[in-house]
Chain A
Amino acid sequence: MATLSTEKPTLGNYSAWLADTTEVGAVKSENHYKTVTTQIVTQITESAGWRALISELPESNDAYKIAHKSQLLKDFKIKILIKPYASLLNKSYRNNVKNNKNWPSPPDGGWVCAPSWIGSFKDVFRTTITVSYLDGIQFLYERIKTAIESVGSECEFDLNSTLEGYYAGHFVLKGAAKVPDFDFGIVSQEYSVEIQMTTHVKEAVKSILHPIYEKARLGYSEKDWQWDFSCDEFIANNLGHIIHYVEGMIVRVRNEHEGAKS
């Protein structure tokens, strides 16, 4: 292990710093990540938990249709996306350097680095399920959770909401895969698949406003956006709250209408 400098690396020279600190070359680290993540995706799609999830989608769609006379889902196809290596590096930078209270010592739990960092983040493998109505998120979660747990797999769910107008359900499917380590041995690697559950409207708006969210995530904007109506964040973040409110009202009106008819 190299001697640690007390000066924090920048994001620009972080890759070299990480390689020097952990004694794992940057190229080796990236190649290993790409190989292992591809293998894990194959094993995820063959896992009992994932198959239970996929099988449950048409069941939930039909159950929602019976309950509310409306489709829950537009599509049953879900593609697992792998976090790009650059994003992984960026995220590890925030853990190891930017938000590391122990600097220059490792953060609690040790340096986040290859080969174990795949298990350190919940969103290395991620996908999105979009539903028609706001209440569909919890409706779908409850059914998927039951299906996944019935085959002995593990999952977590959290309803996220932030001051910045982000609202989504985060469903995490957990498991373990057999992957090669640096020495070509086979080791068990725990993984998480983050399934973001959102609505069609929120997803459409997110794709339009993604550049603004990305800028904010990278910490380029320190503005007090809540009072600065001229900044992009004012529009993007408040739009998130407004849409959430409108979607909630739509469900409420629909439910009241359904109650009045029954």
Chain B
Amino acid sequence: MSEDHVDYFLDIGMSQVAINRANYLRDLLQRVSPSKIEDIFISDSISEEGIRSQESMWCFGSGRVTEFKNMMTSVNFDFMSLEIRPVWVDVVSQDYDFEEVNDKSRLVVNTVIRHPMGMALKATRNNCPHLTRIMQRWLSVL
């Protein structure tokens, strides 16, 4: 795992246990498909009590994306080609103006790459700018 990814994990408040889990899944992926992982995004959510939880881990690179679903509780992943541009991207923002974030900031990006396949990415607080960057880099329709 590159230092950039660890910095990202720490930045979005992942525990050391969760970081170890992400590293473990990354290693599994490398065994199955040893191509370069250029970007990682963690979908997260926050409970009513304020507990931030990680849901899916998305690994981008080599013209495809791999989703580890329910990353903390299962090993279940799928691949999707990103060789073609998405046909549709839906962005829902709450308390986030694509510059400043606060505790209530949320960002949800739904996209269809090739019907009916797509992605549902969501971010909270300071994970919103990371999702914005992912969207700009990997999900541009232009």
Give Cα distance in the complex from A232 to B50, angstroms. 37
A61 contact set on B, CB distance < 8 A: 15, 51
Q: Are A75 and B72 in contact (CB under 8 A)?
A: no
Give Cα distance in the complex from A59 to B51, angstroms. 12
Q: Which of B34-64 contact A (CB under 8 A)?
A: 47, 49-51, 53
A77 contact set on B, CB distance < 8 A: 50
- Judge if A62 is at the interface, Cβ distance under 8 Å: yes
Q: Are A62 and B21 in contact (CB under 8 A)?
A: yes
- Judge if B16 is at the interface, Cβ distance under 8 Å: yes
- Specify the chain A residue showing the minimal Cβ separation from B72: A65
- Judge if A74 is at the interface, Cβ distance under 8 Å: yes
A59 contact set on B, CB distance < 8 A: 15-17
- Given A58-B15, A59-B15, A59-B16, the answer on whether A66 and B51 have CB atoms closer than 8 Å is no
Q: Are B21 and A66 in contact (CB under 8 A)?
A: yes
Contacting A69 at CB < 8 Å: which of B16, B47, B49, B73?
A: B73
Give Cα distance in the complex from A71 to B72, angstroms. 11
A176 contact set on B, CB distance < 8 A: none
Number of residue pairs A-B, CB distance < 8 angstroms: 33
Q: Are A75 and B51 in contact (CB under 8 A)?
A: yes
Contacting A65 at CB < 8 Å: which of B49, B50, B73?
A: B73
- Judge if B12 is at the interface, Cβ distance under 8 Å: no
- Judge if B119 is at the interface, Cβ distance under 8 Å: no
- Specify the chain A residue showing the minimal Cβ separation from B17: A62
**Chain A's nearest CB lies how many Å from the CB of B14?**
8
Q: Are A76 and B51 in contact (CB under 8 A)?
A: yes
**Chain A's nearest CB lies how many Å from the CB of B122?**
18
- Judge if B18 is at the interface, Cβ distance under 8 Å: yes
B21 contact set on A, CB distance < 8 A: 62, 66
* A 125-158 to B, binary, CB cutoff 8 A, 1 in contact else 0: 0000000000000000000000000000000000
Q: Are A74 and B73 in contact (CB under 8 A)?
A: no
Q: Which of B4-21 contact A (CB under 8 A)?
A: 15-18, 21
- Given A62-B21, A62-B72, A65-B73, the answer on whether A71 and B15 have CB atoms closer than 8 Å is no
The bracket for how many chain B residues form the interface is 10 to 19
Give Cα distance in the complex from A63 to B15, angstroms. 9
Q: Are A63 and B51 in contact (CB under 8 A)?
A: no
Give Cα distance in the complex from A66 to B72, angstroms. 5
A75 contact set on B, CB distance < 8 A: 49-51
Q: Which of A70-88 contact B (CB under 8 A)?
A: 71, 73-77
Give Cα distance in the complex from A75 to B18, angstroms. 17
B16 contact set on A, CB distance < 8 A: 59
A63 contact set on B, CB distance < 8 A: 17
Q: Are A74 and B49 in contact (CB under 8 A)?
A: yes
**Chain A's nearest CB lies how many Å from the CB of B18?**
5
**Chain A's nearest CB lies how many Å from the CB of B24?**
9
**Chain A's nearest CB lies how many Å from the CB of B10?**
13
A69 contact set on B, CB distance < 8 A: 73-74
A65 contact set on B, CB distance < 8 A: 72-73
Give Cα distance in the complex from A58 to B50, angstroms. 12
**Chain B's nearest CB lies how many Å from the CB of A184?**
41
**Chain B's nearest CB lies how many Å from the CB of A261?**
11
Give Cα distance in the complex from A69 to B18, angstroms. 13
B47 contact set on A, CB distance < 8 A: 74
Could you write out 18 A-B pairs with CB less than 8 Å apart?
A58-B51, A59-B15, A59-B16, A62-B15, A62-B17, A62-B21, A62-B72, A63-B17, A65-B73, A66-B17, A66-B72, A66-B73, A69-B74, A71-B51, A73-B51, A74-B49, A74-B51, A76-B51
Taking A61-B51, A69-B73, A76-B50 as known contacts, 7 extra A-B pairs with beta carbons closer than 8 A to each other, sorted by chain A number, are A59-B16, A62-B72, A65-B72, A71-B51, A74-B47, A75-B49, A77-B50
